[in-house]
Structure formats: structure tokens, C-alpha cells
Copies of this chain bind each other. A is one copy, B any other.
């Protein structure tokens, strides 16, 4: 059973790619344990104040982000694929146990008002790790909304924080 080759559709998807000078194993660790995820996951001045990870297909990936004003936003996702050190897939279209997610609360400020699946790929690289994220949406509006929320900048800043955190480990 060969793994699926992910085909990106630029109308519907967003992607982020960078080579970082951090070993693949450390990037993996930063993504897969609450202790090592909270310090870098949300671009400052926002913070990640809680995180729950059940690292298996169907398991929960929950984070709580706090704004500088103290408002909290919870994101609940479900892991789909886990290939240690190489591939992590999760979606907010399903809740843990693969249950289809209920409709969003209708609060435009909430982080769960649109659905996506994120596919994170890590590859060994001579300079460290090639880090690729592909985020797929149900429609063009979802892609645009995510783009306007600052997808590129957000993933970039978070990765800068991950690199700084991993180097200090």
C-alpha cells in the first residue's frame, strides 16, 4: 500500500515550504508533544496556553490560543496520518474518533469557522530539514479566508519560533 501522493490545487490550497537548520527529529518533537509545542506554536504576542495531543489516527489535537487581550480560542482537530519524523496529517473537519465536526458557532472571530486539513511533511536535507505544509480547503472561499488571516506570515513566524526554541533545547 503506497502512501497517497498529495496533489495540490492552487485554487483551493495553501502551501508553505522552507529549509530549516534543525534536525528532523527535533522538528517532529516540537510538533508532537504539548510540552515542546506550546513554546513556539502561536506567533507572539499571542500564546498557546493549553495543548492536548493523542498521537494516533483518530486521536485529538487540541490547542488553546490566547490573544494579548486575554481572549481564548480553542481549536479541536483529529489526527489522520502519523509517520514518525516524516508526515503528520490532521483536520478540523473531524473531531476525535473521526466524528464529523458540528457546524461552526457562527462567531467570525473564532478560529473554527472554516474547515481544513493540514499535511506537514518533513524531509532530511543537507542543511537540516525541508519543512513543507500543505493546507487543503473545501472551497476557494476557505482558501481565501485562511490567506487573509495571514497564513504565510503566521506559519513563517511560528516556524521562526520553533527554530529558536529547538536551538535552545
Contacts and interface: CB of A to CB of B under 8 A. Distances in A.
Given A91-B98, A99-B137, A117-B99, A57 B81 contact: yes
A138 interface: yes
3 tightest Cβ-Cβ pairs between the two chains A and B: A100-B115, A4-B58, A93-B100
A102 B59 CA distance: 24
Q: How many copies, total? A: 2
Interface of A: 1-4, 6-7, 12, 54-59, 80-82, 89, 91, 93-95, 97-103, 115-117, 119, 136-139, 142
Contacts of A6: 58, 97
Nearest to A93: B100
Contact of A82 (B1, B56, B102): B1
